[in-house]
Chain A
Amino acid sequence: MPPKQALTPNAGPPPRDVVAAIRGVSKVYSLGGHEVKALDNVSIEFRQGDYVAIMGSSGSGKSTLLNVLGCLDRPTTGQYYLAGQDVAVMDDETLSRIRGRYLGFIFQSYNLIQQLSVVENIEVPLSYQRPPMPGGRERCLKLAELVGLSKRLGHRPTELSGGQQQRVAIARALVNNPHVILADEPTGNLDTATSHEIMDLLDALNKAGRTIVMVTHENDIAERARRIVRLRDGRIESVAEVRREALPAGG
Chain B
Amino acid sequence: MKHLIGRRALVLVSLLLLLLGSVGGAGAQDPVTITWWTLASAESPEPAIRAVVEAFEAEHPNIKVDVTIMAESAYGDLMNTTIGAGEGAPDIAYFWETPWLPHTLDITDRLEADPDLSRDDYFEEYFNNWAVYNGRVVGLPFTVGANFVMYNKDVFDEAGVDYPTADWTPWEYIEIATALTDPDKRRWGGDRPRGPFRAIWRNIGATKPYSDDSATVEGYINGPDAVAAYTWLWDLVDSGATPTPADIEVLGTEGTGPVDLFIAGRLGMATLNNGHMITAANAGVNFGVVPEPHVPDNERFVHAWALRASIWAGTEHPDEAYEFLSFWAGPEGQRINMEIGALMPSLPAVLEDYPDAEADYFQGFMGVLNATQTAEWRATHPCWRGAVIRAVSDAWDLIMLGEIERDEVQATLDAMVEPGQAALDECVPRLGG
Partners in one complex: no
Q: B residues bordering A, Cβ < 8 Å?
A: none
Q: A residues bordering B, Cβ < 8 Å?
A: none
